[in-house]
Structure 1
C-alpha cells in the first residue's frame, strides 16, 4: 500500500496567509484604480482639457462661419460634454436662411456644425443692386451685389409678397436643369387672374403661364422645345394644355389661354 503524505496545519497556515494577502492586495489595487479613474474624470471635466478648441462649420453659403458660431453661443470655454444640442439647433434655425442643422462632437475637443441652407431660386433687383431670393421666399437684403451673374433667374415686378412666396415655392420644386434654363420671370397679373407670369428663357423662347402648379406644368418645357424647328422663336404657353406660338405666325389658338384663365382665376387662399 502507498503511504499518503500528511501535511500538518502548521505548514499550511503560512501558505493560506500568503494567498489571502495577495487577494487583499489585488482588491486594494482594483479599488484604488477605480478611485483614481473617477478622480481623473472629475479633474478632466473641470479642467480646460474638456473645453472646445475647434468649431468647424460646413454647408454655409450666405451665413458666415462667424455668424453661425456666434448664434450657437459656443466658445473655447464651453465644456464639450455639456453642450445643449437642441438649444443650439433651435438658435441657428431661427435664421430663415437655414433649413436644417446637425451638431456633431469629435473627440477630443472639436465640434462640427453641419448646415443645410434653403435653395437659391432667384434674384430681385432694387436700386441697381441684386439680392438673392431663397426657396422659402426670403430676400437676403444684406448680401446685395452690383452685377447680375445669371446664377438663378431674375424675378421682377412681384409687388405682392404673398405671390412672390408662392412663386419661389414653385421654383424650389423645379428640377435644376429646368431652373437653369430660366433667365427672367415677370409677374403680369390681370383683374381676372393674378397668377399670370411671363418667363424669358436662356435658349431664346418666351413662356406664358401661371404661378399655380407652375413646377408641374414647366416639366413639359424640354419636351416641347425638342420638337420645335431649329432657330425657331416664339412663345410657349403652358397651362391645362401646352402649345407653341411662333412670332412669325399671325394667328394663334386662343382656346388654351381661355382655359388657363378659367382654371386659374381664383385668388390666393
Structure 2
C-alpha cells in the first residue's frame, strides 16, 4: 500500500487564508464597481446627457422638419428614456400628409424620425389657385410643395366625390395617370359620379368614377385600334364606343340648320 504525502494543518492554514482573502477582494471590487456604476447612472439620468441632443427626420416631402418636430413634442428638455415611441407616432399620424411613421432611439441621446407621406395623386383647381390632392383624398392648403403633379381636377369640392376620385386614380398605373391632362366633374341626372377626362393625346373620355380604374386600364388597347388622326370621345360609361369629333364644316351646317 503506497504512502501519500501528508500535509500538516499548520501548512494548510496560510493557503486557506490566502484563498479567502482573494475571494473577499474580488467581492469588494465587484461591489465597488456596481456602486460606481449606479452613481454614474444616477448622474447620467439627472444630467442633460440623458436629454435628446439631436433629432433626425427622414422621408418628409411636403412637411418641413420644424413642423414635424414641433408636432412630435420632442425637445432638448425631453428625457430620451421617458419617451414613449407609440405616443409620438400617434401624434405625428394626426398630420394628414403622414401615412406611416417610425421612431428609433440611438443612444446616448439621438432620436430618428422616419416618415412616409401620402403621394400626390392629382391637382385641384379652385378658381385661379391650385392645390395638391393626396392619395387619401386630402387637399393641401398653404403648403410648401413647389411642383403640382397629376391630372388637374376641376369642378370638384371636398367630400366623397373628391375622395372617390383620388381612390380611383390611386389604382391606375402611372402611365395611365400621366396620360390624363384634366378631369372635370360633370354629374348628370342619371349619374352623380359622371366625369370627363381630357387626354394628352387629344382624346376625351366620358366615364363614371365608379368604374374608372377598371376601365381606364384598357385605354392604351382602345386607342391602338383607332385611326390616329381621327380624334373624338371614348365613352366608357356602360360599354366602350368611340364618337369622332365633328368637323368645323359639320358644326357650321348644324348652326345654320338651327338658325333656319
Counterpart residue number, 2:15? 15
3-state SS in 1 of match to 2:210: coil
Mapped to 1, the partners of 2:34 and 2:230 lie a distance apart of 83
Mapped to 1, the partners of 2:33 and 2:122 lie a distance apart of 63
Q: Does 1:133 align with 2:122?
A: no
**Cα 1:107–1:203, aligned 2, differ >3 Å: closer, same or farther?**
farther
Which of 207, 217, 220 does residue 219 from structure 1 map onto? 217
Counterpart residue number, 2:162? 164
Counterpart residue number, 1:119? 119
Q: 1:17: how far off?
A: 0.5
Counterpart residue number, 1:256? none
Mapped to 2, the partners of 1:160 and 1:16 lie a distance apart of 88
The alignment of Structure 1 onto Structure 2 pairs a total of residues equal to 248
Q: 1:101: how far off?
A: 1.2
CA contact (8 A) 1:119 1:172 kept: no
Mapped to 2, the partners of 1:29 and 1:95 lie a distance apart of 54
Mapped to 1, the partners of 2:166 and 2:143 lie a distance apart of 18
Mapped to 1, the partners of 2:158 and 2:19 lie a distance apart of 90
TM-score by length of 2: 0.86
CA contact (8 A) 1:129 1:144 kept: no
Deviation string, structure 1 residues 166-216 (Cα, Å, up to 9, x no partner): 111211222222111111000111122111100011222111100112112
3-state SS in 2 of match to 1:189: coil
Mapped to 1, the partners of 2:110 and 2:234 lie a distance apart of 54
Counterpart residue number, 1:75? 75
Counterpart residue number, 1:41? 41
3-state SS in 1 of match to 2:100: strand
* Structure 1: 5+ residue stretches without partners: 251-269
Counterpart residue number, 2:26? 26
3-state SS in 2 of match to 1:140: coil
Q: 1:134: how far off?
A: 1.3
3-state SS in 1 of match to 2:10: helix
* Structure 2: 5+ residue stretches without partners: 251-260
Structure 1 window deviating more from structure 2 (188-197 vs 168-177): it is 168-177
**Cα 1:144–1:232, aligned 2, differ >3 Å: closer, same or farther?**
farther
CA contact (8 A) 1:131 1:144 kept: no
